[in-house]
Amino acid sequence: MKLTVGLSTCPNDTFIFDAMLHHKIDTQGIDFDYIMADVEELNRLAFRGEIDITKISFHAYAYIADKYKILDSGSALGRNNGPLLISKRQISPEQVPNLNTIAIPGKHTTANLLLHLAFDKLPLLKEYLFSDIEEALIKEEVDAGLIIHETRFTYQQRGLKKILDLGEFWEQTTGLPVPLGGIIIHRKIDSKIQKKIQEILRSSVQFAFENPNEPYKFIRQYAQEMDDQVMYNHIKLYVNQFTISLGNEGRKSIRTLLEKGHQIGMLPQIPEQIFVD
């Protein structure tokens, strides 16, 4: 059996998928073809149902929850690791509704959903590739920018300033870890195979934790312009106990995010069964 897997070039994804994709663990007779893409492009592939297993923003998941289930392993949740709203000049959170434009890393990113949960009113939102947002701020194409991934480690070096940490906002209002993205599997795949994939992915994550140097070549292949220290800080921030298993707290955090998005009219109602048991 061969299944397609979608993952981003971010170090946390290449770290957790390395052993699974390169048969460093027992894949129980299943082979994988993988697609590397920005998370917003992965979101679009999932919207079209063109991929079997994929990384996805939890915001985007709400629109295809009837077609996919969330795997227990592989998710990016945690504390102190949420998106940051930043600017070139010092701006307070109270001033945000009166700005002209904010750069966002994609309409269906969890970062955008968190932004809407944090502010009742927002200015014009303009989509950029996440890695281009800092430059857009420096060139003053936008007034503020919503940054994700490794850019949270580099924005201060470029003279940019934090307006609001949306992870802190989420944690302070819910007491839960911030749910950013997860790994989903198509419901059309037999439930026994879904559970087998869940086991394989968990083994892949555990292998990476136990052999942290093993994924280096795969990580470096897709993080060519990233400093090693930034790369490992990125992994440390987004790969944690929730990546091995969501547990009850992780599942509660995801459900809470999706329910809050529905309450503000941004997301559809989700089905009762959204997790692979």
Q: Do 191 and 257 fall into the same domain?
A: yes
Specify the 3-state DSSP secondary structure of 220.
helix
Distance between CA atoms of 203 and 205, rounded to whole angstroms? Answer: 5
Any catalytic annotation for residue 149? yes
87-92 average pLDDT score: 96
pLDDT at 267: 97
pLDDT band at 20 (very low <50, low <70, confident <90, very high): very high
78-87 average pLDDT score: 91
Number of alpha carbons in the 13 Å side-chain half-sphere of residue 150: 21
Q: Is the full-model pTM beyond 0.75?
A: yes
Specify the 3-state DSSP secondary structure of 264.
coil
Domain limit, last residue, from 139, 174, 209: 174
Please indicate, yes or no, if residue 271 is contained in any of the structural domains: no
pLDDT at 225: 66
pLDDT at 224: 67
Q: Do 164 and 55 fall into the same domain?
A: no
Domain limit, last residue, from 146, 174, 202: 174
pLDDT band at 254 (very low <50, low <70, confident <90, very high): very high
pLDDT band at 151 (very low <50, low <70, confident <90, very high): confident
Task: State pLDDT tens for residues 176-192.
Answer: 999 999 999 999 999 99
Please indicate, yes or no, if residue 276 is contained in any of the structural domains: no
Task: State pLDDT tens for residues 23-77.
Answer: 999 999 999 999 999 888 898 899 999 899 999 999 999 999 999 999 999 999 9
User: What value does the mean pLDDT of the chain take?
Assistant: 94
Residues forming beta bridges with residue 7, ordered by sequence position: 36
Task: State pLDDT tens for residues 1-14.
Answer: 999 999 999 899 99
As a whole-number percent, the residues of the chain with pLDDT over 90 amount to 83
Please indicate, yes or no, if residue 277 is contained in any of the structural domains: no
Which amino acid would we find at residue 259? Answer: E
pLDDT at 226: 75
* Structural domain containing residue 224: 2-78+179-263
Which of 59, 108, 149, 186 is catalytic? The answer is 149
Terminal C-alpha separation, the chain: 22
Distance between CA atoms of 15 and 13, rounded to whole angstroms? Answer: 5
CATH of residue 63: 3.40.190.10
The helix-helix angle for 11-21 and 228-238 (nearest 10°) equals 80
Task: State pLDDT tens for residues 173-230.
Answer: 999 999 999 999 999 999 999 999 999 999 999 999 999 999 999 999 988 667 888 8
What total number of domains does the chain contain?
A: 2
CB atoms within 10 A of CB 98: 10
